[in-house]
């Protein structure tokens, strides 16, 4: 089990780290989606973070300035769109631990992904295990199997080794930084 | 051409008006989407309004308060999701005029809908003509035909009569208030 880089990060690893550690994971996915759009491969976007606006002021006549607002819980997942004629929907998570805890994902988000899959869409969770520098996608049905084991008193998290066994690792590149559609192809097509 | 209700609104019309005029159009669509979800018919959500957060304060240790933020231009459209295994994507617009002006929709939103349709999704614009109390969906390809006529020096808006000819009228009901999937069925299935 390779937890860290005993001999220090290699050159290639350093680049990867720059692409994900340095850059936020979210930003790396957003750049990837932009790359996909530019190549006309897929139209997938991050949904804006929901904000409840309470007070707005108008310092100039043209521009509204929000002066009181609060973050709200997202209704669904982070990302959705269309790929190869299919509806695609996923939640992106990162963890500093070697195991991804189920407490870090909302149950209503999982329900949403289950509903999507049942209706014929592609639905998964993509997890970035920072410590081992691995990005892995897990289909929602598989994810729920592991989740249910946790509910029944078993493991309440997914160690990255289990993620690798149950999911597909996403290769990282210069462009796109997180080529998750390659993994999606392996998983669904 | 019935522009207004010469004999005053009938009882049925009053109900319809309460369902759309009283309630915001957006709220009526959101309620409709909730109805669809509860019936397990479709999973379609409004995307949150994008907000650029500039300053956040922490008056209590648990809750973040946004104290400076601005509305941003949406990247894509208002609504998307899955219906009958298909990716569905649309923009909702309302107008106080008898004709819907093309200046009220962003060209990048139209491009997005065109991309979605080309990739096999269902993509359309739904317009609420308040004055005549009509809700009409127009497939994006049809919409672009009319749009291009405008670009070539023709009509730069869609009168509601043209919308009726080129689109499908959405029936309004108690529940769901704006049953647009019935119109989607007619248009695409």
Spatial distance between the Cα atoms of B163 and B167, rounded to a whole number of angstroms: 5
Measured in angstroms, the CA of A113 and the nearest CA of chain B are apart by 10
> How many domains is chain A built from?
1
Residue B2 falls inside a structural domain: no
Query: Quick check: is B108 in a domain?
Result: yes
Put simply, the answer to whether A69 touches B64 (Cβ < 8 Å) is no
Mean pLDDT for all residues in chain B:
89
Residue of A nearest to B74 (CA): A48
User: What is d(CA B80, CA A162) in angstroms, rounded to the nearest whole number?
Assistant: 33
Would you call A45 and B81 a contact, using CB atoms and an 8 Å cutoff? no
State the ipTM, two decimals.
0.86
B31 domain-assigned: yes
Which residues of chain B neighbour A72 with C-beta distances below 8 Å?
A: 48
Instruction: Using pLDDT thresholds of 50, 70 and 90, give the confidence band for residue B42.
Output: very high
Q: In this predicted structure, what is the pLDDT of residue A23?
A: 62
Q: Is residue B54 a contact partner of residue B85, using CB atoms and an 8 Å limit?
A: no
- Distance CA(A53)–CA(B177), nearest Å, equals 26
Instruction: Say how far apart CA B176 and CA B182 lie, in whole Å.
Output: 11
Q: Is the pLDDT of residue B11 over 80?
A: no
Structural domain contains residue A1: no
Determine whether the interchain pair B71/A64 forms a contact, defined as Cβ–Cβ distance below 8 Å: yes
Mapping DSSP to helix (H, G, I), strand (E, B) and coil, where does residue B72 land?
coil
CA distance B180 to chain A (A): 19
Residues B121, B89 contacting (CB under 8 angstroms):
yes
Residue B6 lies in a domain: no
Q: Is B36 domain-assigned? A: yes
pLDDT tens, A110-145?
999 999 999 999 999 999 999 999 999 999 999 999
Give the pLDDT band (50/70/90) at residue B164. very high
Instruction: Flag whether B137 is in a domain.
Output: yes
- The helix/strand/coil state of A50 is coil
Per-residue buried b or exposed e for A48-87, using 16+ beta carbons within 10 Å of the residue's own CB: bebbebeeeeeeeeeeebbbebebeebebbbbbbbbeebb
**For A21-47, what is the mean pLDDT?**
92
Contact state of B51 with A70 under an 8 Å Cβ cutoff: no
* Tens of pLDDT, residues B81-124: 999 999 999 999 999 999 999 999 999 999 999 999 999 999 99
Provide the residue range defining the domain that includes A113.
Answer: 11-188
B65 contacts chain A (CB < 8 A): yes
* pLDDT tens digit sequence for A49-81: 999 999 999 988 778 999 999 999 999 999 999
* CATH code of residue A156: 3.40.1350.10
Residue A4 included in any domain: no
Residues in chain A: 189
Q: What's the mean per-residue pLDDT of chain A?
A: 89
- By C-alpha distance, the chain B residue nearest A69 is B66
What pLDDT shows up at residue A60?
80
Beta carbons of A116 and B51 less than 8 Å apart:
no
């Amino acid at each position: 089990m390779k937890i860290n880089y005993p001999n220090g990060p290699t050159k290639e690893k350093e680049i990867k780290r720059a692409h994900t550690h340095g850059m936020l994971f979210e930003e790396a996915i957003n750049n990837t989606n932009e790359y996909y759009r530019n190549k006309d491969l897929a139209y997938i976007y991050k949904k804006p973070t929901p904000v409840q606006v309470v007070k707005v002021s108008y310092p100039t006549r043209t521009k509204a300035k929000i002066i009181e607002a609060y973050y709200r819980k997202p209704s669904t997942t982070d990302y959705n769109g269309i790929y190869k004629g299919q509806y695609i929907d996923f939640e992106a998570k990162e963890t500093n631990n070697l195991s991804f805890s189920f407490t870090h994902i909302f149950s209503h988000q999982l329900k949403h992904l289950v509903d999507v899959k049942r209706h014929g869409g592609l639905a998964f969770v993509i997890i970035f295990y920072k410590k081992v520098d691995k990005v892995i996608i897990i289909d929602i049905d598989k994810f729920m199997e592991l989740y249910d084991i946790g509910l029944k008193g078993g493991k309440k998290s997914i160690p990255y080794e289990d993620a690798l066994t149950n999911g597909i690792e996403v290769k990282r590149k210069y462009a796109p930084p997180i080529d998750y559609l390659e993994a999606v192809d392996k998983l669904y097509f």
